[in-house]
Amino acid sequence: MLNIQIREDACSGCLSCIAACSLSHEGYASPSSARLQVNIELFTKNQINFCRQCRNAPCAKACPENAITQISKGAPWLIAYEKCTNCRACIQACPFNAMLWDPIQERVIKCDLCGGEVPACVDACPTGALSIVKTGSENIEEGKIEGGKK
C-alpha cells in the first residue's frame, strides 16, 4: 500500500505540486483542478490538504450512489464519474478537506495516486515536503482524527 506523506514544515509554498497535479490530470495548470491543496500561511507553516486513502473511507460511505470505490483493498479510492451526481456529500464527509470541487471541470475530484506510478506531485516537490511511503492506510473513526477538520 502506497500513499503520500506530507511534511508541512518542509513546504516552501512553491506550488509545484499543485501545478504538476493539474498538468498531469488535465493538461493545464490550475489550483482549481489540483487533487491536493496548499494553503499558504505566511507566518507559520503551510497547511496541505491531501487524501489519506482511508481504510474505511468516509467519502465512500457518504456517497449515495456508491460511486467511490477501490479496485482492491489498499488501492486508491476512485470516483466513477458515470455514477456521480455531483451531490457533494463526499466533500462534506471528508475530514481532511481532500474531496474537492473543481469549478473548471464542474465535478468532484480526489487524489488517485496517479495510477500507481510516483504521483506527479511527489515527483515535482523540490523540498521533500511530499514523499511516497508504504503504509497501512488510516483507519478513520469519527472523533479520532488527528489533523482533520476542526
Partner 1 sequence: MLYGWIGRILWVNLSSGKVWESDTLPYTRDFIGGRGIAAKLMWDITSNDSSARPLIFMTGPLGGTIAPFGGRTVVAGYAPQGYPHEWYSRSTFGGYWGPELKYAGYDGIVILGRSSEPVYIYIDDGKPEIREAASLWGLGHFDTQQELKSILGDQVRVVSIGQAGENRSRIAVIETETESAAGQGGFGAVMGGKQLKAIAVRGTGLVQVADADLLMRRSKAIREELRRGSIIARNAALDPEKVRKYGERWYACTQQCGVRCMSRHYSHVPGPISGRERAGQLHCCAPCFGGRDTLGESSFYSWRMDFEASFDLACMANDFGINHWDFVFGLIPWLKHCSETGVQTELDGISIDVNDPHFWAELMRKIAFREGVGNILAEGGYRAARELNEGRAFVDEIYAGWGYAGHLDGHGDRVNRVVFPFWLTLGLQWAVDTRDPFNSSHGYQHAAMMWSPFGYRIEDHGKTEAESPLSWAQLQRYGERIYGSSSAFDPRSGYRGKAQPAIWHSNRSAIKDSLFVCDWMLPCMFSLNQEDGWCRADGMEGIDFEWYLFTATTGVDVGRKEFYQAGERICNLERALQVRDFNRTRMDDEEIIPYLAKKEWWESPLLKEKMGAKPKEFRELLSEFYRLRKWSVETGRPTLSGLQELNLGEEAQLLKNRQLIE
Q: What is the binding site for partner 1 (CB under 8 A)? A: 9-10, 12-16, 19-20, 22-24, 26-33, 39-40, 42-45, 103-104, 120, 123-124, 126-127
CB of 57 to partner 1, least distance (A): 26
Grid cell locating 76: 486508491
Nearer to partner 1 by Cβ, of 68 and 99: the residue is 99
d(CA 46, CA 24) in angstroms, rounded, equals 23
**Grid cell of 111 as nine digits:** 487524489
Residue nearer to partner 1 on the CB measure, 98 or 120: 120
Question: From the CB of 148, what's the least distance to partner 1, in Å?
Answer: 19
Buried b (16+ CB within 10 A) or exposed e, 24-58: bbbeeebebbbbbbbeeeeeeebebbbbbbbeebb
Taking the complex as a whole, the smallest distance from the CB of residue 1 to partner 1 amounts, in Å, to: 26
Name the grid cell of 118: 510516483
Nearer to partner 1 (CB atom), residue 4 or residue 125: 125
The residue whose grid cell reads 475530484 is 109
- How near is the Cβ of 111 to partner 1 at its closest, in Å? 17
